[in-house]
Structure 1
Amino acid sequence: MADFTWSVLFPEKKKTTFNRKKPRATIFLSSDTHGDEKLFVPISVAKKVVALDKESQLDSVSRSEFLKKLTLIQKDLVRVRIETLLQRRDYSTFELSEKLRLDGFFIPVVEKAVARAVEVGLLNDQRYADLYVRSKVSQGWGPLKISCELKQRGIEPTLLDGWPDTYLPLENQREHAHMLAQRKRLTGKNDYGKIVRFLAAKGYPLGICTDVAKQMLKDA
Structure 2
Amino acid sequence: MTLHMTELEVRLPDRRSASSFSTSKKPMAEVSCIMDNGRTREIVVPVRVGRLLMADAVALPLPEEEAFDAIHALEGKICFAQLTEMLSRRDYAVLEARERLLNYGYREIEIDAALSKAIDARFLDDRRFATYFISERIRRGWGRRKIEIELKRKGVDAGDLPGYPEEFFSDDDELDRAIELLSRKSIPAVRPQEKLIRHLMTKGFSYSVSAAAARHRLSSDTL
Asked if TM exceeds 0.5, the reply is yes
Separation in structure 1 between the aligned mates of residue 116 and residue 162 of structure 2, nearest angstrom: 23
Separation in structure 2 between the aligned mates of residue 58 and residue 30 of structure 1, nearest angstrom: 10
Q: Which moved more, 1:159-168 or 1:123-132?
A: 159-168
Partner SS for 2:43: strand
Query: Are residues 1:215 and 2:219 paired?
Result: no
In the alignment, what sits opposite 2:43? 39
Partner SS for 2:56: helix
Flag structure 2 segments of 5+ consecutive residues without an equivalent: none
Structure 2 matches for 1:8-47, cutoff 5 A? Answer: 8-14=10-16, 15-16=18-19, 17-29=21-33, 38-47=42-51
Separation in structure 2 between the aligned mates of residue 209 and residue 88 of structure 1, nearest angstrom: 35
State the AA in 1 paired with 2:118: A
Structure 2 matches for 1:94-109, cutoff 5 A? Answer: 94-109=95-110
Q: Percent same amino acid at aligned positions? A: 23
Separation in structure 2 between the aligned mates of residue 109 and residue 92 of structure 1, nearest angstrom: 18
Query: Are residues 1:206 and 2:207 paired?
Result: yes
State the TM-score, normalizing by the size of structure 2: 0.88
Q: Deviations over 1:123-179 (max 9, x none)?
A: 111011101111111111100010011111111101222222211111110110011
Separation in structure 2 between the aligned mates of residue 192 and residue 181 of structure 1, nearest angstrom: 11
Separation in structure 1 between the aligned mates of residue 125 and residue 138 of structure 2, nearest angstrom: 20
Query: Cα offset for 1:22?
Result: 1.6
Residues 42 and 104 in structure 1, CA contact (< 8 A), matched pair in contact too: yes
Separation in structure 1 between the aligned mates of residue 111 and residue 188 of structure 2, nearest angstrom: 53
Query: Cα offset for 1:3?
Result: 7.2
**Structure 1 residues 211, 98: CA separation in 2 closer, same or farther (over 3 Å shift)?**
same
Query: Cα offset for 1:187?
Result: 3.4
Residues 137 and 168 in structure 1, CA contact (< 8 A), matched pair in contact too: no
State the AA in 2 paired with 1:86: L
Q: Deviations over 1:23-46 (max 9, x none)?
A: 210123477xxx875432111101
Structure 2 matches for 1:65-144, cutoff 5 A? Answer: 65-144=66-145
How many pairs were matched up? Answer: 215
Residues 96 and 155 in structure 2, CA contact (< 8 A), matched pair in contact too: yes
Separation in structure 1 between the aligned mates of residue 76 and residue 197 of structure 2, nearest angstrom: 50
In the alignment, what sits opposite 2:181? 180
Separation in structure 2 between the aligned mates of residue 46 and residue 82 of structure 1, nearest angstrom: 17
Query: Cα offset for 1:77?
Result: 1.1
Separation in structure 2 between the aligned mates of residue 62 and residue 219 of structure 1, nearest angstrom: 80
State the AA in 2 paired with 1:51: A
Separation in structure 2 between the aligned mates of residue 147 and residue 98 of structure 1, nearest angstrom: 19
Flag structure 1 segments of 5+ consecutive residues without an equivalent: none
Partner SS for 1:165: coil
Separation in structure 1 between the aligned mates of residue 110 and residue 92 of structure 2, nearest angstrom: 18
Residues 41 and 104 in structure 1, CA contact (< 8 A), matched pair in contact too: yes
In the alignment, what sits opposite 2:158? 157
Separation in structure 1 between the aligned mates of residue 184 and residue 104 of structure 2, nearest angstrom: 41
Structure 2 matches for 1:53-64, cutoff 5 A? Answer: 57-59=59-61, 61-64=62-65
State the TM-score, normalizing by the size of structure 1: 0.89
